[in-house]
Structure 1
Amino acid sequence: EPPKENEGVTFSEDKDYLAEYLELYRQNEDMVGWIKVEDTNINYPVVQSVNEPNFYLKHKFDKTYSAYGCPYVQENCDVQKPSDNIIIYGHHMNDGSMFTGLMKYRNKSFWEGHKTITFDTLTDRHRYEVIAVFKTVVYTDSSDSFKYYEFTDAENAAEFDAYVAKCKELSLYDTGVSAEYSDKLISLSTCEYSRNNGRLVVVAKRVD
C-alpha cells in the first residue's frame, strides 16, 4: 500500500491531547499548538514542518496554497520539550489577519491591557507574559540587525541572559518584566514595513 502522507508520525490515542485540538490534529499532524492574543485576530492553529521548514509560509492549515500561510514554528524548535525559545512566524496581511495584530503591541497602551498571550500545545494550556516588543531587520549583517531567530536553546545561563538583555535593550518600551535561565520563551515574529526586511517581534515568557 502507498505510504501515508505523514509516514513516521503516528497518531497515538494514549497521548493526553486536549479535546478541542484532537480533531484538528487528526486533520493535520503538523499541528503543534494554538496561539491567541485577545482583541486581535490572532486565534489560530500553529504548525511545524521540520522537513520543509517554510512550507506554511504559503500554505494554509489544510496544506492548500495560500498567500496567507499559517502561523508556524521554526523547524529547529521543540514545542513539547520545550526549547528555551519557540519562534513562531506569521504574516502581516493588509486585512488584519494572521500576525498583523502583533502591530498593536507597538503601543504601550495596548500592551498594558494585553500583557499575556495564550500559546497552548496539543497537551497543555500555557500563558505567556510579554517581556519585550522590538523592531529589527533580517538578512543583513548591519549593526541594527538582531538575529533573534538564531537563539532557540541556550548552552548556559549567560547565553540565555544575553538574548533577554538584547530583546529588552531593543524594546519599544520597558515592560518591567524580565526572564531568567529556567524560563521558557516564545518569540512571535511578523513583517514590519517601515524598513526593508523589517520585522516586529513580541517576546514573552511562560507563566503557567
Structure 2
Amino acid sequence: MCRHRGICRVIRGMNGILDYGLLLLLLLGLVYGCYALWDSQNLAEEATSEQYAIYKPQEDTLGFQELQSMNSDVIAWITVYDTPIDYPVVQGKDNWEYVNKNAEGEYSLTGAIFMDSESNPDFQDFNTILYGHNMVPNVMFGSIKEFKEQAFYEAHPYGNLFVQNRNFGLEIIALIEADAYDSSVFNINVTRNDTIPYLEVIRNHAVYMNDITLEADDRILLLSTCSSESTNGRDILVARITDQTYKDTYSAKDQEHTGHEAVDRRGGWRDFMPGWKATLFLLLLLLILICFADQWICRRRRKGRK
C-alpha cells in the first residue's frame, strides 16, 4: 500500500492520462483509416473512364462537342481496346496544368490524359507524347503496366484515336521503359529525317517491340506513365497512328459471342478489391487493438483501486 496518498493519486492520475491518451490515439487512427478508405475509393471512382462516357464520340459527336464547349483544351479521344484507357485528351499551356486538373477543367488529384504542351494538337508530328497518372485500380494510364506481360501485350494490339472529327486506328508496336529525364526518348522535335535513329532509341529501351518498318508519312504515339518500380522510371506504350481503323472485338456486344473477359479488365470493384481488403484488414486490426487497450486500461484501473 502506498504510504504517500498524494503521490499515489498523482501517479494514478498520470497513468489514467496515458491510458486514455493511448486509447484516443488508436481511435484517431481508426477514424483516419476510415477516411483514407473512403478517400481512396472516391479517388478511384473519379478516375474511371465511365464518368466521361456521355462525352465519348459515337455515331454523332454531340457529346464530345459539349465537352469541348466546357473546356476548349479538349482536343481528342483515345481508346486502347479491352483496357480502362478510354479518355478525352487535353493539351494545356504547359505540362503541369493537367497534372491535378481533369478534362472538364476542374481541380482533381486524378488529373487528365494530356498531350505534351509543345506537340502539334492535330497529331501531325512524327511522334506525339501523351501523359497520364499510373493509378490503382488500373485507371487513367494505370493499365499500361499490364502490357509488361507478354501474353497481355500480344492480346491487345489495337486502339482508336478520335481527332478533328475523324477516327484513326492505333496499332500497338512497342512497350518501353525509360527514365523521365531521358531526352532521347522524350524528344518531341523528331523530324522525318530522324525517324530511323528514333526508332532505334525505342528499340534499345523496349521490353517488347514488333518487327515493323515505318513509312515516310507514318506517325507514332507514346503513352507515358510513372513506373511502379522506380521514382524516375516511366512505362511507355508506343502505337502507330493509322488511317485504317480497327474493330473493338472486346466490346460488351461481342463479349456474348467470344467469351473474352473484357469486363474484368475495365476496372471497378474487382480491381479495387485487393487494396480495399488490405485497408479493411488494417482497420479491423486497429479495432481489435482498441478493444485490447480498453480491457488493459480497465484491468489497470481495477488493480489501482486495490
- TM-based fold match above 0.5: yes
The question of 1:44 aligning with 2:79 is answered no
Taking structure 1 as reference, are residues 60 and 72 closer, same or farther at Cα in structure 2, changes over 3 Å only? same
Deviations 1:36-83 (A, max 9, x none): 11221111100001x233211111112222111000000111132611
Q: Secondary structure at the match of 2:78?
A: strand
Deviation at 1:122, TM superposition (A): 3.3
Deviation at 1:186, TM superposition (A): 0.5
The question of 1:121 aligning with 2:163 is answered yes
Q: Secondary structure at the match of 1:86?
A: strand
TM-score (norm 1): 0.81
Deviation at 1:197, TM superposition (A): 0.7
Number of matched pairs: 184
1:170 to 205, 209, 216: 205
Deviations 1:96-142 (A, max 9, x none): 21000111111221121211121211321111211211111123xxx
The question of 1:27 aligning with 2:70 is answered yes
Point out the structure with the larger helix share.
2
Q: Secondary structure at the match of 1:172?
A: strand
Which residue of the partner structure matches residue 85 of structure 1? 127
Deviation at 1:165, TM superposition (A): 1.6
Question: Percent identical across equivalent pairs?
Answer: 26
Specify the code of the residue in structure 1 equivalent to 2:150: K
Deviation at 1:146, TM superposition (A): 5.6
Taking structure 1 as reference, are residues 23 and 57 closer, same or farther at Cα in structure 2, changes over 3 Å only? same
Which residue of the partner structure matches residue 11 of structure 1? none
Taking structure 1 as reference, are residues 152 and 109 closer, same or farther at Cα in structure 2, changes over 3 Å only? farther
Q: Secondary structure at the match of 2:197?
A: helix
Q: Secondary structure at the match of 2:160?
A: strand
Which residue of the partner structure matches residue 194 of structure 1? 229
Which residue of the partner structure matches residue 149 of structure 1? 186
Deviations 1:145-204 (A, max 9, x none): 4642223441x42x1111112112321123223423321111100000212210001111
Taking structure 1 as reference, are residues 127 and 81 closer, same or farther at Cα in structure 2, changes over 3 Å only? closer
Structure 2 gap ranges (5+) = 1-59, 244-306
Point out the structure with max Rg over C-alpha. Answer: 2
Taking structure 1 as reference, are residues 104 and 177 closer, same or farther at Cα in structure 2, changes over 3 Å only? farther
Specify the code of the residue in structure 2 equivalent to 1:22: Q
Specify the code of the residue in structure 1 equivalent to 2:142: T
- What root-mean-square deviation, in Å, do the aligned CA atoms of Structure 1 and Structure 2 show? 1.8
TM-score (norm 2): 0.56
Which residue of the partner structure matches residue 97 of structure 2? 55
Task: Give yes or no for contact 1:161–1:181 (8 Å, CA) kept in 2.
Answer: no
